[in-house]
Structure 1
Amino acid sequence: MSRRQSTLLGFVETKKTKICSPSTTSDVHFKEAEVSEYCCSNTSSSSSTVQAADNRPIASIAFNSKTRNVDFGFYIDIATTSFSDAEKANLLRNAWEPPEDFSYPFSVHRKNNKDVKCYLSKKHFGEFRWLTYSCHLQGLFCKYCFLFAKQGGVYHQTNLNKLVKSPLNKYSKLLGKDGDLILHQAHRYHKEAVERAQLFIKKFRDPQVSIENMLDQKRKLQILVNRERLKPIIEAVILLGRQNIAFRSHRDDGFSLRDKTETNKTTEDSAVNRGNFKAILEYRAKGDPILKNYLLTAAARSTYISKTVQNDIILTIGEEITGILTEKIGKAKFFSIIFDETTDISNTSQMTFFVRKQHNIPLTNQSGNLEELQYSHKESKAGKEEGLSSLLKITKVIIKRRYI
């Protein structure tokens, strides 16, 4: 029996690298892709180390400040609830991805008394778009779960670690039926995190679609509508005050326009004179369909034409006028104060406060004739002394110390 002749190759040990068969996965939010896992074994081992493909330690891979801002490893100890929307958007949009010249790391595992290298590949990032690598912590993270997943499990009571709270840096079992990336992608908390991330980006790009802003826009629109409704009411108050016309009559309740519409005829109640204020509004409503519709359809407590609202509008307009007069008097610098008291039919003392000042000609430094302004009007039931004291307090508002 002839002995087999030895060859030169017999003195050299050959090592065949096993390539795992391609595995196709699908994400509910991303395109399907095929990827080959460069791994010698589908069984992970507790004994493993991580290195770059060119045998450099991963920690020595340089990254600048811009890369640091999008490296999830630097945010691992920071509560995601403290992140601003801008920070979240920056991490989602610009999560660090390996460049073309990146030397992909591998983890070394012990199998059959041999060291086996399992590589991370560019194709992993192409298939799993949620995947990002941290140079700082030398491992993989899911950017969506990192920011938006809180807890897992059926009742959301299970703490999340791998790919979420801690990096995945063992690459022996990434794909396949029980692969780490496949299992993670199938979890419900991951799918919910992806949905939250997509909704967040949508709201961040267009704030108008957020529920909060939609409600805020609706509120702003309601404010504008209410202002338009109040405008003719305020103008009616100004008109009556400027023309020195009384507001109310003996009966001020109800609104005759609504009474006529409800009965389609003039009833005894609708024929009652309800005063000048409501008569002006009724007359204006005939040519203003918006005002007419508002007065006819608004709730009884939301018409803003009651005597209480009339008084509130009068006081507000009075404060505005007083502010304008105060500004004019302040510009005049020098002025005199005049008090005029009279008793009305009810034997109540009424005191009026006037200010006499020089009238300044606009756009010039010249002074014109003297001008008297009625600044305030106050009822003084206890006598002139009390009225004088209260009106002197008013003068403190307009008198500057250097002009006394």
Structure 2
Amino acid sequence: MAEEGINDWKNASHLLSTHESSIEHTKNMTTWKELEVNIARGRTIDQREMESLMVEWNRWRQVLTRLVEIIQSLAERNLALRGSTEKLNCPSNGNFFQEVELLAKFDPVMKNHLIRVESNAGNHSHTHYLGQMIQNELINVISAKITERFVDDIKASKYFSIILDCTPDLSHKEQLSVIIRIVALEDKPTIKEHFLGFL
């Protein structure tokens, strides 16, 4: 009846009651009610998929947080990130990989990440966020955030001065360093210098 419809309107009430007591209708009503209960309790396939997606999203967030901290730590100490190779557990892989390996010894998130990276070593499409491109991207993002904070400091200060100095690099090309000195208005006035980069 659901596929064909009805046109016998005189007997419609009898046909509807027959349909309502049919096995097909009972089965479909049960399925519909179960779905309604599962949606109310959050036990649908979509909900499970969303939960697994959120777990994966959170894992990547934790991994990236650790990688950013490693890059910041190396940059603060003015240490090079890369070595002559980009392989894990290799003596010449550079400071970044060595810090990642060291952290993995004590941190379960990083340990789990390195296990995944090593198990997918042959799979070139596998994302691991340890390569040069992501390192450069993270450095650029961190740099932009630091510059943004410097600019906010400069705008908030009452007095500032610009210091420019030229120095030739290894290829004898002149590089102009840009430093801004400000009087920061905190509890008591403090003089700060911000290096904004080379031109």
The TM-score with structure 1 as length reference comes to: 0.42
Q: CA-to-partner distance for each residue in 1:298-318, whole Å, 9 max, x for gaps? A: 233433221222111111111
SS in 1 for 2:189: strand
Q: Number of paired residues?
A: 193
Pairwise CA RMSD of aligned residues?
A: 2.9
Q: Quick one: which of 169, 176, 182 aligns to 2:17? A: 182
Kept after mapping to 2: 8 A contact 1:350/1:377:
no
Deviation at residue 243 of structure 1 after TM alignment: 0.8
Give 2:74's aligned amino acid.
L
Q: Which amino acid aligns with 1:242?
A: E
Q: Does 1:278 align with 2:97?
A: yes
Q: Equivalent residues in 2 for 1:18-167 (5 A)?
A: 152-153=2-3, 158-159=4-5
Give the match for residue 45 of structure 2: 211
Give the superposition deviation at 1:188: 6.6
| Pair 1:324 & 2:143 matched | no
1:228 maps onto 2:62 in alignment: yes
Task: Call closer, same or farther: CA 1:187–1:346 in 2, change over 3 Å.
Answer: farther
1:297 aligns with: 116
Aligned residue number for residue 53 of structure 1: none
SS at match of 1:353: strand
Q: Distance in 2 between matches of 1:328 and 1:306?
A: 33
* Residue aligned with 1:341, SS: strand
Matched, 1:307 2:132: yes
| SS class of match (1:220) | helix
- How far apart are residue 248 of structure 1 and its match? 1.8
2:192 alignment partner, SS class: strand
Percent pairwise identity = 23
Query: Per-residue CA shift, 1:62-94, capped at 9, x if unaligned?
Result: xxxxxxxxxxxxxxxxxxxxxxxxxxxxxxxxx
1:182 corresponds to which letter in structure 2?
S
User: How far 1:280 sits from its partner (Å)?
Assistant: 1.9
Q: Deviation of residue 360 (structure 1)?
A: 1.4
Whether the 8 Å contact between 1:338 and 1:353 is mirrored in structure 2 is: yes
CA deviation profile, 1:226-274 (whole Å, cap 9, x unmatched): 122233322211110011111122x122111xxxxxxxxxxxxx4x422
Q: 1:286 and 1:173, CA in 2 relative to 1: closer, same or farther beyond 3 A?
A: closer
Alpha-carbon distance in 1 for matches of 2:98, 2:113 = 16
Paired with 2:152 and 2:23, the residues of 1 have a C-alpha distance of: 67
The one-character-per-residue Cα deviations of 1:351-403 (angstroms, maximum 9, x if unpaired) are 332222211124xxxx51332212x224xxxxxxxx4xxxxxxxxxxxxxxxx
Aligned to 1:282, the other structure's residue is in SS state helix
Q: What is the Cα deviation at residue 342 of structure 1?
A: 1.9
2 CA distance for matches of 1:336 and 1:373? 11
Query: Of 73, 80, 88, which residue of structure 2 is paired with 1:255?
Result: 88
Between the aligned partners of 2:6 and 2:35, the Cα distance in structure 1 is: 21
Q: Does 1:371 align with 2:192?
A: yes
More helix per residue: 2
The answer (yes or no) to whether the contact 2:68–2:138 under 8 Å persists in 1 is yes
Distance 1:349 1:291 in 2: 42
Is 2:33 aligned against 1:198? yes
Which TM-score applies when normalising by structure 2?
Answer: 0.79
